[in-house]
Amino acid sequence: MKKYSFDAVVFDLDGVVTTTAGVHAKAWKATFDEYLRLREKRDKEPFKEFTHENDYLPLVDGKPRYEGVESFLESRNITIAFGDAQDSVDKETVCGLGNKKNLMFRRIIKKEGAQVYLSTIALIKSLKKAGIGIGVASSSKNCQMILQSAGIEDLFETRVDGVVSVQLGLKGKPEADIFVTAAHNLGAQPSKSVVVEDAASGVAAGRNGGFGLVLGIARKDNEAELFKNGADIVVSDLEHINLKIIEKWFHRKPKPLFKTWQKRSAEEKIVNPSYSLSPKEVFFGKRRLVFFLDYDGTLTPIVSRPQLAVLSDDTREVLKQLSTKFTVAVVSGRMRDDVENLVGIKGLFYAGSHGFDIVGPQISMVKEEVRKAVPVISQVIARLKSELGAVEGLLVEEKKFSVAVHYRLVDEKKYLSKIRGTVNNIVGEYRMLRLMEGKKVFEILPDIDWDKGKAVRWIMQALGICWDEASVIYIGDDTTDEDAFRVVRTRGTGVLVSNKSQESAAEFRVSSVKEVKVLFEKVISPL
C-alpha cells in the first residue's frame, strides 16, 4: 500500500459527519429561551431571545455542554450555581440547564434519527481504503448514541467524546486534548494528522494542537471566523476535498520572504485573506509585533560543536534594539540558562529545553512532568557514552531535561546506522521518552505533550497577548521548530531559515542567519 505524508484524520461529529448540529442548535434555543422567559416573568428581566448568529455560534457551538451554558449565561451577566452532573432538568443550575438541553436533544434524535453527510462518509471510506487512520472527536456525551443511530460506528477506529473526556480529565475546545488523544490512539502524531471541524472553537483546538492540517467546513456561512481561529483550508462541503488534495497540502514549501516582500497573489487572497499577507504587510501593519526566535541556525550559524555557536556582537546589538521596540522571546533546544547566557540581553523571554523551562520579566515556568525524567535522562546519557563512546567525532550533549547526540563530525557511511540503531533501541526501552531528529542530531526528550509550539502559546497567554491583536512571528531553522510553525500558522507568520527550498509549515523562508539580521534591521529602521 502506498505510504502517504499523513497518518490520521480526526473528524468532529456534529456538522461534520452528521447533520445533528442543527438539532443541537434547536435544543439549545428551546432550553435558553424557556429559561429567559422564566427570568422575565419571575425577575422582571427583559426577554432577549437566544439566536443562532449572536449566541449559538460564538458562545456554545463545539464546546462541552456545561461550558456552553456558562459561556452563554456569562454573556447575559447571569450568575447561578454550577451544581453537579446529577442535577434534575428542573434545577436552576448550570448542570440543570445543560441536562435539560441534553434531554431535549436526545428526544429529537430518538424521534427523527441521526442523518449523515454523504460526502463526509465517502471521504472517510476513501481514506480508510488508503490505510489512513480515522477517528472521531466530539464534546458531546451523546457521540456513541448518534453514531449508532446513524449506523456508522464501525467507520471509526477511535472515539474521544464527552464521556471519555470526563474519564481522562481532558480539557474541552479550544484546547486540543480530545484531538491529540484521538491522534495518539491511532498511533499518529498531530503533526502528521488532520483535524476536520465546522466550529470556530474546534479549528482553534486543531491549531493549538499543532496539527498538520486544520480543515474547516463552513456550513454556517462562517468562512471568515474559521480562518480567523486557525483553519488552513475552508470549504463548504467535503465533496471538495480528497486524498490527493490533503497529500499535496503536506508538501507545501515556504515562499522566499524578500522576493515576495510586497506581493500577494489574487489566489492567495481568496484562499485565506489573513494568512496570505505579504511580508511587508506582516511587519509593517498596524498590529503589535511579537518575535519568537530559535538560537542555533537562526541567530547564529550552525557549527560543528554547540559550544562554538557564539552570538556575534553586531547581531546582539541589533537584537537588543529589536527588543526595545517589540516583545522578543528566544525558544531553544539548549538549556535555558545556557541560551540566556549566550544571548546576554536582559528583558527578553527565554524558553530552554524546547520550552520545558521558561523565564522572563514577571513570568517563570518549568513543566513539572519533566522533572520525573531527569534520572532517566542521566541513565540514557551513561548508556550512550558506554555504547557509542568509541565513535570518532560523536558528541553527546548533556542537558538537564534531554540529551542530544550530534553526529556532524562523524563518518556517516561508517557509523550512522549504528548510531541510529543504538538511539532507537535505548528510547524504545523507556516509555517516558521520545525521539526527535534534527540537523545531524538525535534529540531524546521526555514524552509529554509539550514542544516549542506550546511554549509559544504559553508565553502569549502569560503575557495576555491575543492572536488577533498582534502580529506573531516565529523564526527557526530545524525540524524542532516545525511544532511552533504549525501553532503559529494562519494566526501568525512562520519564517524558515534555509538556503534551499524545502517542505515546511512556515509561510516564508530566508536563506541564512545574515538574512535574519537584515530582516531585523528592516523592522527596526523601516525608512
Give tens-digit pLDDT for 466-498. Answer: 998 999 999 999 998 999 999 999 999 999 999
Grid cell at residue 84: 453537579
Return the domain boundaries, the chain: 8-19+114-249, 21-112, 255-367+450-524, 378-445
Domain 8-19+114-249 CATH (choose: 1.10.287.70, 3.40.50.1000, 1.10.3720.10, 3.40.50.720):
3.40.50.1000
Active-site residue 14, yes or no? yes
Catalytic-labelled residue, pool 14, 177, 294, 481: 14
Q: What CATH number has the domain spanning 378-445? A: 3.30.70.1020
- For 472, half-sphere exposure in the C-beta direction (CA atoms, 13 angstrom radius) is 24
To the nearest 10 degrees (0 to 180), the angle between helices 94-112 and 65-75 is 120
* Beta carbons of 254 and 507 less than 8 angstroms apart: yes
pLDDT tens, 434-452? 898 888 999 998 888 889 9
The CATH fold of domain 255-367+450-524: Rossmann fold (3.40.50)
Task: Give the per-residue pLDDT at 527.
Answer: 55
Given this chain, do its domains 8-19+114-249 and 255-367+450-524 carry the same CATH topology? Answer: yes
Q: What is the DSSP string of 95-119?
A: HHHHHHHHHHHHHHHHHH---B-HH
pLDDT in tens, the chain (527 residues): 678 999 999 999 999 999 887 888 889 999 999 999 999 999 999 999 999 989 998 999 878 899 999 999 999 999 999 999 999 999 999 999 999 999 998 888 888 878 899 999 999 999 999 999 999 999 988 999 899 989 999 999 999 999 999 999 999 999 999 999 999 999 999 999 999 999 999 999 999 999 999 999 998 788 999 999 999 999 999 999 999 999 999 999 999 999 988 766 555 544 555 456 788 888 888 889 999 999 999 999 987 777 777 899 999 999 999 999 999 999 999 999 999 999 999 999 999 999 999 999 999 999 888 888 889 889 999 999 999 988 999 999 888 888 999 999 999 999 999 999 999 999 999 888 889 888 899 999 888 888 999 999 999 999 999 998 999 999 999 998 999 999 999 999 999 999 999 999 999 999 999 999 999 999 998 65
Interacting residues of 416 by C-beta distance below 8 A, sequence separation 6+ = 407, 410
Beta-bridge partners for 8? 133, 193
Catalytic-labelled residue, pool 12, 177, 296, 478: 12
Active-site residue 314, yes or no? no
Q: What are phi and psi of 110, to 5 degrees?
A: -60, -35
Burial pattern 72-102, b for ≥16 Cβ within 10 A else e, equals bbeeeeeeeeebeeebeeebebbbbbbbbbb
Interacting residues of 316 by C-beta distance below 8 A, sequence separation 6+ = 343, 344, 345
